Every structure is written in C-alpha cells, then in structure tokens.
Amino acid sequence: MNGYLSKCVILALVLLCLTGTTWAQSDFFFVENSDEVVLRYTRTPGELAGTDTTTSLTVFGSGRVNIHFPLHGKRQGDYEMTLTKAELNELVATMVNFGVMEYDALAVAAEQRAIMQATNMGYYTGDADISTIEIRLARYSPEVGLEQFDIQKQVSPLALQSQARHFDSIQSLVNLATAERQLIKLINNRNINPVNLAE
C-alpha cells in the first residue's frame, strides 16, 4: 500500500496540468483517529436488480477503510485496509482539489443543455450507473478568509464517466470523473483483506 496514493496524487497533478486546471487554494480538516466517516463512495449499476448490487467504499478518520463488493462481481463480500495519516490526507486532498466540494450539479446541467442546444445533439443516460461521492469535513476553507464548519458534501451523478466523455468541455464534470477513477483504483487495490465475519 505504501506509495500507492502518492502515485495517484502525482497522476492527479499531471492530469490537472494537462487540462490547464490549477489546484484550488483550499484548506480542510477532519477528525483523525476516530470512527467518523470522512469519505464514502458508492456505485450502483442501473441495469441490475436485487438487494446487493452496490459497490461501496467507506473511509474513516482513523484511516480504516471498508470496501463492499456485491454478489454479481468477481470479488464478493466485505474487505478492509488501513491508510496511513499521510495517505488519508492525500486521498481527501485529491477529492478536494478535483472540485468535489465545489461541484454544482445544477450549473453543470445548465452547461449541458446549452451545449446540446448549440450543437443540436441529444444525450440519453438510460439505465445508467449511479455514482455517489460524499465527503464530511470538520472545517473547510475554499479560499483565504472563508471558513465553513461541519461540512457534508454529496454528489450523485448518473453515468459519470460517460457524461465526462460526452461533455468533455465541462471541466468540473471531467474533474469529478477523474476523482471517481481515483476511488475506483483504491477499491481495486490488490492489498485489501477480506473481512472474516465469523470472528
């Protein structure tokens, strides 16, 4: 696990440079060494029916990570891993700097409508996956002199990766899709350990 998230952050920096996006001058704080949830990610396929169809990632202030895979996948059941303090900070910083805290779904939808009207093209999500990213911070300062406390931000776009490819001129949407890919990489990390529920 050592160095894994550092590589993700380096990749994030490269991607931001390539897209011409600058890192946000923001600051954040969460309660460390606690059982409070700092970050949660879920992805539910729209075309699958059933009671266990959602992949989930839950990250706690202590660095503990719980991962759940649904019954239909190659991996199934519950897994866990532990992030160091530095790795946890890097993960949250990646989410913040890719604009998850500032993502405005209504503004993105307005941009999409304007693009479709200007280009006379349509876009249909169909039975799309639903991705949800949730961040909980004790303090968040998006810019100098502006502080917010006990902040919880949740975004739940449909077909996020598909939307980002289709509307690649909307930078906030592209950045959100990149943030999701970092979480998917963490979920697919080989160093996670199965949870023995019998213990």
Residue 89 pLDDT = 94
Query: What CA–CA distances, in Å, run from 105 to 24, 45, 67, 160?
Result: 19, 20, 26, 12
Question: Within a domain: residue 125?
Answer: no
> What radius of gyration, in Å, describes the C-alpha atoms of the chain?
17
Distance CA 61, CA 89 (A): 10
Question: Within a domain: residue 199?
Answer: no
Q: Which domain holds residue 31?
A: 4-120+131-194
Question: Within a domain: residue 170?
Answer: yes
Average of per-residue pLDDT across 147-174:
95
Question: Within a domain: residue 126?
Answer: no
Placement of tokens 């060494």 in the chain: 33
The structure's pTM equals: 0.82
Residue 71 pLDDT = 85
Domain count, the chain: 1
Each residue's pLDDT tens digit, 5-27:
444 444 444 444 443 333 344 68
Residue 49 pLDDT = 59
Each residue's pLDDT tens digit, 97-140:
999 999 999 999 999 999 999 998 888 777 789 999 999 999 99
DSSP β-bridge partners for residue 78: 68
Closest CA to 32 of 3, 62, 1, 4: 62
Question: Within a domain: residue 161?
Answer: yes
Q: With pLDDT > 70 as the criterion, what percentage of the chain qualifies?
A: 83
Residue 34 pLDDT = 80
Give the type of residue at 118. A
Contact 29, 83 (CB under 8 A): no
What CATH number does residue 88 fall under? 3.30.1560
Residue 32 pLDDT = 85
Question: Within a domain: residue 106?
Answer: yes
